[in-house]
Every structure is written in structure tokens, then in C-alpha cells.
Structure 1
Amino acid sequence: MSACMAGTADLFSWHYMGLQALAITDCCSKREKQERGLLPWGNADEHAMAEHLVAAAHRGTVLPRMNLWDLSGVIAQASGAVDVDTGLMHVAASMVVPTVSIFGSTSVALTGAMGARVVNLHADYECSPCRLKICPKLQGGSPTCYGELGFSKVWSQLMNLLDQ
């Protein structure tokens, strides 16, 4: 089972992370047939976006509403996780789940995940980390700094972690 997670829609651009998660889900399903992408959510906006993304991709699973204890159980069984700077990233890292953490507007130095099987990817963009909740440079619904961290970079790092 694979867990592909994302942060809140307003703070971390669910659109970008959702597309990343579904792309990784697709690759996971090609790598090992039992793999599937799981999308947790924390509010109505995230739930609607997760449902939309899974429907559009015809793959992945939107998890039911869960408390942190139950969600931690799902994460503990995951073969890998992709997340932005959220608490779930730290849960996955603490459980030694191979975790790729993505930082655009937030700082790896302040809140990066720690662990033997963690890669913290950060945007190499002029204003990153800005620590702003709303990006003044939005392009297509996503902060421009996240564009620096494309699918191939995230996927490559996840595969390296899974092969360790």
C-alpha cells in the first residue's frame, strides 16, 4: 500500500500535490501491482478536491474521514509517502516509512522531517521559503516555487528510498 498525502488546500496548494500523488500512484501501480495511492483529507475543500482528482485519474483511493490515531495506522502500513510540510509528514518519517517531503513556501531548516528514510526537497526559487500562506505569484492555481519540484524529481527520490 502506498500513501500519498498532501497539506491543506489554502496553505500548500492541494492541486499541485494531488496531481503529484496521482502520478506517483500510477507509477506505484506499475512497479508493484498491490500498490495504490491513498489520499487523506482534513476538510470539505480537501475532500472535494481528492474526490475530483481520483475520479479524473480513475485510480487512487480517497480515505474516509479519520482521526489521527487511525490515520497513523494507515501510514504505518504504507510503503512510501509523499507530503508537503504537514504533521502527517512527521508521522510517516517517525514510523520509518520512506518519505519525500516537499517544501516550497515553508522552510526545511525550521520544520523538515527527520529520519533515516526521509528526503526533504526544497524549492530553489528566488522567494522560497517566503512562509506566506497565500502566494502573490500564483500560476495556474499553484505557487510558482512548487513548479521547481516536478514529478520526476519527487518520483526519483521516492524510488531511491524504496530501493534502500
Structure 2
Amino acid sequence: MSKIYKTVRLAYSAKVWIDHLIVCRERELKEEIKNGLLDKLETDIQNNYSEILDGISINVILKVSAGSVIEQAYRFCKTRNFTDDEWEEIQTRMDKTVVKENFQNENTVTPRIFLERNVLEGLEELRYKFKRNEPGKRLPKLSYIIKLVVFAFYSQLED
């Protein structure tokens, strides 16, 4: 699972949704850590790689980031395998939410996102899917696709 850095200019609304998802995921992670997740991971690593790691101290660090929640949102959308009509409905709800919340007065942000290569490739494929072979229609920006995928995941948490 190789990862790459990608700098993407995100709309403020996408950043707000990402931040909300980070907070939710951090709460879940904190609970899992209380229930022994770190000990289990360290034990599994030591058991599976004991010869390589003999004499090596293991420190596992788990971090929720913008990239990790974008990956989670992408995987959610991929498993749901939304139809074109469902994507259209998600887009309509997202547009209404952006207007209702009045994110338009805010600035955009440009985080450096660390993403799995296959997730980035999948997001790029969605750009071509949403073009829908309409002549004269330009390819949607990656930032828009990220915003749409994040909203699709974010909105299902709100329901």
C-alpha cells in the first residue's frame, strides 16, 4: 500500500466536513485504544515479524488525518457503488447544504494530503465518470470530487 502526497485546494465546506469526520474518527480510535488496540497491534507485529524485529523496540502511532478520512470516504462510496442518479442526488443535497450553511463567504484551504495511491487513482477515475461523455463539458476538478465523496460519507453519518 504505497502512499503519495497530493496538494489539493479544497473548498472551505469540504474542510469543515473533513474536520468533523476527523473528530468522529478520533473519538472512535480513542475508545479502541482504551480497549487494548495498541497492545494487540504490537503483539501481532511482534508475532508476525519476530525474526526481523528481534532486538527492536516497537512503537505504534495511530493518527487520524485529512487523508485518512478522505480514504475512508472514498472506500465508503466505492462499496456503496452509487448509480449516476444517486450521485446526482448527493450532488443536489451537497449544493443545498453549502448554500444553507453559507460556506461561500469563507476561504479555501490547500492541505497537503497523504493518500493511498489506489484511492487517488480511484478519485481520478471518478473525475472521468462525472464528465459523462458530454461534449464541451470540462473534467471536474479533483477538489470537487473529494468534496463530493466526503459529503456523501459525511451526510450518511448525519442521517
Normalised TM-score (structure 1): 0.26
Q: Which has the larger radius of gyration?
A: 2
Q: TM-score, normalised on structure 2?
A: 0.26
Q: Which has the higher helix share?
A: 2
